[in-house]
Amino acid sequence: MSTQNPIFIPGPTNIPEELRRAVDYPSIDHRSPAFAEMYKPALDGVRRILQSKEAEVILFPATGTGAWEAAVTNTLSPGDKVLAARYGMFSHRWIDLCRRHGLDVEVIETPWGEGAPADAFEQALKADTRHTIKAVLVCHNETATGVVSDIASVRRALDAARHPALLYVDGVSSIASMDFRMDEWGVDIAITGSQKGFMLPAGLAILGISPRALDAVASAKCPRCFFDFRDMLKTRATGGFPYTPPVNLIRGLSVSIGMLEAEGLPRVFDRHRRIAEGVRKAVAAWGLHLCAKRPALYSDTVSAVLVPDGFDATRIVTHAAEKYGVAFGVGLGEVAGKLFRIGHLGSMTDVMALSGIATAEMVMADLGLPVALGSGVAAAQEYYRASAGREKTAASRAAA
């Protein structure tokens, strides 16, 4: 596969040159003050990206999956009940992880293509008069279906039921790309990783933890060692880490946050919205549909495109990789073969997106799907022409 082409999978994402240079750094003694100087700005920066004033930020050498595990094992005990909805492969995997840790997961089965069912959550919480549910788990952006959920509505469900359960949100494919308001939404644990919105290589599990969630740590009985928040916070008090920290990624994280903040978070979110909207115009021009069932559910970081019945969508991904050296995402789980995914998050511009749309058209034409070359590109071009300049593009930023 050509390394010249951008990738269009929803993580890992394209790594900008600036971040590749930032992680290319000689080893340092992580017990020296040099590490502490690198560490604190990264922690403070993540808190700002989460739009939180009070979250404790914790970084582990792991990925988003490790952050799921750290969140539940540090705050819950085997047998504890948690409430979750399954509407895609990522919400499914988090549920599975909880069960393997001996948690009792009440699952609300939700059609894939829908988002977090706030009304059903509210009913379940109201029915739980003895408050046995300790936490509600929500996947903010279901990367498998390209569906974004309304976390504020889940918070309202908890409040309407006057239920004290903690709210844990997987923001792995939303944080740093789409609006995520930890404090305003009353999120108790926010979860992400380094290789999506932060545009870095995989290797950091990133968590924001509310004071209420931290209070739950002392009584939680799930076994944990590597991921123990207590060890992390104890060693941090002296600028350290409980084991060898992934120094290069932590350094990269600070630089990534600097890039995001130089652009400005509202502009970052707007850029993702614009790019996604162009992709959606292209999908409509192809006569195809998204897996997400309604515009309010459309993700600005990944579009999951349904293919005509009887056609195996995986062929699109394989052919794009083999013939054109371009990566798209396959369908996962229940939607395997039914859709392919265009990831458009992180280091992405409308010009890059046009190349992905053009490639998808070539692939679909090669495979005999009734897609006219240029149709989706033209629809996206019209949208990008009309909306460009709403925010500074990456190119003009670099020139400034």
Ligand X SMILES: *Cc1c(COP(=O)(O)O)cnc(C)c1O
Rule CB under 6 A: say whether 168 interacts with ligand X: no
Binds ligand X (CB under 6 A): choice among 51, 52, 63, 73: 63
For 32, half-sphere exposure in the C-beta direction (CA atoms, 13 angstrom radius) is: 5
Q: Which two tokens stand for residue 4?
A: 């010249």
Query: Are the C-beta atoms of 330 and 336 separated by less than 8 Å?
Result: yes
Q: Of 167-175, 218-226, 242-250, 354-362, which segment contacts ligand X by CB under 6 A?
A: 167-175
Nearest distance, CB of residue 180 and ligand X, angstroms: 12
Judged by CB under 6 A, the number of residues near ligand X is 13
- Structural contact between residues 190 and 175, judged by C-beta atoms closer than 8 angstroms: yes
Contact 82, 76 (CB under 8 A): yes
Q: Which residues pair with 190 in a beta bridge?
A: 169, 208
Question: Could you tell me which of 28, 26, 43, 25 has the C-alpha nearest to residue 236?
Answer: 43
Residue nearest to ligand X as judged by C-beta position: 64
| Options 95-103, 136-144, 280-288, 306-314: segment touching ligand X (CB under 6 A) | 136-144
CA–CA separation, 214 vs 232, rounded Å? 12
Give the DSSP H or E segment for 21. helix 17-23
Report how far residue 88's alpha carbon sits from residue 343's, in angstroms, rounded to the nearest whole number: 16
What's the min distance (Å) between Cβ of 190 and ligand X?
12
Using CA atoms, how far apart are residues 73 and 225, in angstroms rounded to an integer? 10
- With 0-12 / 13-18 / 19 or more C-beta atoms within 10 angstroms meaning exposed / middle / buried, residue 64 is buried
Listed ranges 61-69, 130-138, 225-233, 356-364: which one lies at the site for ligand X (CB under 6 A): 61-69
CB-wise, 205 or 213, nearer to ligand X? 205
- Of 139, 182, 213, 275, the residue at the interface with ligand X (CB under 6 A) is 139
Binding pattern for the stretch 78-117 against ligand X, x by CB under 6 A and - elsewhere: ------------x---------------------------
| CA pair distance 331, 313, nearest whole angstrom | 7
Q: State in angstroms the smallest separation of the CB of 268 from ligand X.
A: 18
Closer to ligand X at the Cβ: 204 or 364?
204
Site membership for ligand X, residue 299 (CB under 6 A): no
> Of these, 45, 113, 146, 193, which contacts ligand X (CB under 6 A)?
193
Residue in 65, 314, 355, 387 binding ligand X, rule: CB under 6 A: 65
Of 6, 11, 356, 376, the one binding ligand X by CB under 6 A:
11
The residue among 279, 230, 274 whose CA lies nearest residue 74 is: 230
| Distance, CA of 271 to CA of 100 (rounded, Å) | 39
Q: Is 143 in the site for ligand X (CB under 6 A)?
A: yes
Q: Is 318 helix (H, G, I), strand (E, B) or coil?
A: helix
Vertex 264 angle, CA 140 and 387, to 5°: 85
- Confirm or reject binding of residue 13 to ligand X (CB under 6 A): no
Closer Cβ to ligand X, 11 or 356, answer by number: 11
Shortest distance in whole angstroms from residue 172 CB to ligand X: 3
Compute φ and ψ for 67, nearest 5 degrees. Answer: -65, -40
Bridge pairing between strands 339-343 and 289-290: unpaired
* Span interacting with ligand X, options 169-177, 223-231, 326-334, 387-395, rule CB under 6 A: 169-177
Tell which one of 56, 80, 170, 179 touches ligand X (CB under 6 A).
170
Q: Which amino acid is at 197?
A: G
Q: How far is the CB of 22 from ligand X (least distance, A)?
A: 20
CB-nearer residue toward ligand X: 22 or 71: 71
Do the Cβ atoms of 16 and 347 come closer than 8 Å?
A: yes
Is the Cβ of residue 170 or residue 300 nearer to ligand X in the bound state? 170
Strand, helix or coil for residue 358: helix
Q: How far is the CB of 34 from ligand X (least distance, A)?
A: 28
Q: Is 64 near ligand X (CB under 6 A)?
A: yes
Of 340 and 383, which has the nearer Cβ to ligand X? 340
* Contact between 51 and 183 (Cβ < 8 Å): yes
Binding site for ligand X (CB under 6 A): 11, 63-65, 90, 139, 141, 143, 170, 172-173, 193, 202
